[in-house]
Amino acid sequence: MKFKAIFCLFLLSFICYACGSDEINHKSDQPRNILGEKVFKRNCIACHGLDGKAKTNGALDITESQLSMEERILLIKNGRKTMTPFKNMLSEKEMKAVAEFTFTLK
Ligand code: HEC
């Protein structure tokens, strides 16, 4: 009986661990960031273009950005100058995914 309980706990923690590793991590070789790409195409290309290089409405070339992951998330959340804030339009997960995606633009 006791063994069963321990086994269940082990199984549970393994499931949690497996879900946790689903998190986006831009250091490892990830498959394509599909969510980030989708969010980018829906929300960002009007000013930044498909390749992130367009400078419509005073936007900056994202491929030349020196901002860190955290700074990008904050910028996407709060906006800057003519860049719209996205905190009411995107979920935390979507903002993170799209920030992630901007690092893959070349
Ligand atoms: C309405 C136009 C507009 C839209 C839509 C827009 N941006 Fe911007 N973006 C800007 C402008 C303008 C700047 C430059 C702000 C400044 O000069 O301070 C900028 C700057 C940036 C930068 C920083 C460049 C740097 O190095 O400082 C990043 C990264 C960025 N945008 C990502 C995004 C992402 C991701 C989205 C979609 C979620 C997005 N932008 C949507 C206009 C836009």
Domain boundaries, the chain: 33-106
Give every CB contact of residue 31 below 8 A, 6+ residues apart in sequence: none
Instruction: State yes or no: pLDDT of 28 exceeds 80.
Output: no
Q: What is the CA radius of gyration of the chain?
A: 18
Pocket test for ligand 1, best of 37, 41, 48, 71 (most atoms within 8 A of CB): 48
Q: Which residues line ligand 1 (CB under 6 A)?
A: 40, 43-44, 46-48, 57-60, 62, 65-67, 72, 75-76, 80-84, 86, 98, 102
- pTM, to two decimals: 0.79
Cα 98 to averaged position of ligand 1 atoms, centre (Å): 12
The count of C-alpha atoms lying within 13 angstroms of the C-alpha of 58, restricted to the half-sphere facing its C-beta, is 6
pLDDT (tens digit per residue) in 76-105: 999 999 999 999 999 999 999 999 999 999
Q: Please tell me the predicted confidence (pLDDT) of residue 21.
A: 47
Cα 21 to middle of ligand 1, angstroms: 29
Do residues 51 and 105 touch, judged by C-beta distance below 8 A?
yes
Query: What is the distance in A from the centroid of ligand 1 to the CA of 34?
Result: 20
Res. 1 pLDDT band, cuts 50 70 90? low
Q: Which CATH superfamily is domain 33-106 in?
A: Cytochrome c-like domain (1.10.760.10)
pLDDT digits (tens, 9 = 90+) for 40-73: 999 999 999 999 999 999 999 999 999 999 999 9
pLDDT tens-digit readout, 3-21:
676 555 565 565 445 555 4
